[in-house]
């Protein structure tokens, strides 16, 4: 696969993540009044926006003018913290579902 195709695939998948994260927030928070699921949808959309921002700057070859090595390291740490928070949330909600015998 060509390098340019990979970059555009990452950019498009980031846009899809932004749209789906925003839609999840609206549906779960506003329609179903599920604050937890709405929060996770919003957070997913925010991380997709950061990913889109970085991929867009990389494609335009302006990443080094916007971010230094320190800010990219900070974004990497933030991404790892988001990953760990998501995994902890997944484990917590699976535990709660098993504890309360939620099957649906």
Tell me, rounded to whole angstroms, the distance of Cα 9 from its chain centroid: 16
pLDDT in tens, 67-91: 999 999 999 999 999 999 999 999 9
pTM for this structure?
0.85
Q: Are residues 13 and 48 part of one domain?
A: yes
Q: Where are the alpha helices (DSSP H) in 1-104?
A: 3-25, 35-59, 63-66, 69-99
Residues 6+ apart with CB under 8 A from 38: 24, 25, 28, 29, 30
Measuring CA to CA, which residue among 82, 12, 81 is closest to residue 47?
A: 82
Q: What is the pLDDT of residues 5-17, one digit of tens each?
A: 888 899 999 999 9
The count of structural domains within the chain is: 2
Structural domain boundaries, residue 84 = 68-104
Question: Using one digit for the tens of pLDDT, what is the confidence trace for 13-44?
Answer: 999 999 999 999 999 999 999 999 999 999 99
Same domain for 75 and 28: no
């Amino acid at each position: 696969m060509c390098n340019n195709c990979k970059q555009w695939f990452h950019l498009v998948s980031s846009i899809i993540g932004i749209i789906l994260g925003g839609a999840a927030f609206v549906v779960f928070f506003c329609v179903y009044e599920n604050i937890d699921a709405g929060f996770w949808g919003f957070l997913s959309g925010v991380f997709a926006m950061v990913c889109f921002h970085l991929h867009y700057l990389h494609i335009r070859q302006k990443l080094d003018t916007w971010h230094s090595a320190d800010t990219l390291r900070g974004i990497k740490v933030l991404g790892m913290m988001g990953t760990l928070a998501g995994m902890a949330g997944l484990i917590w909600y699976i535990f709660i579902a098993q504890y309360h015998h939620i099957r649906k």
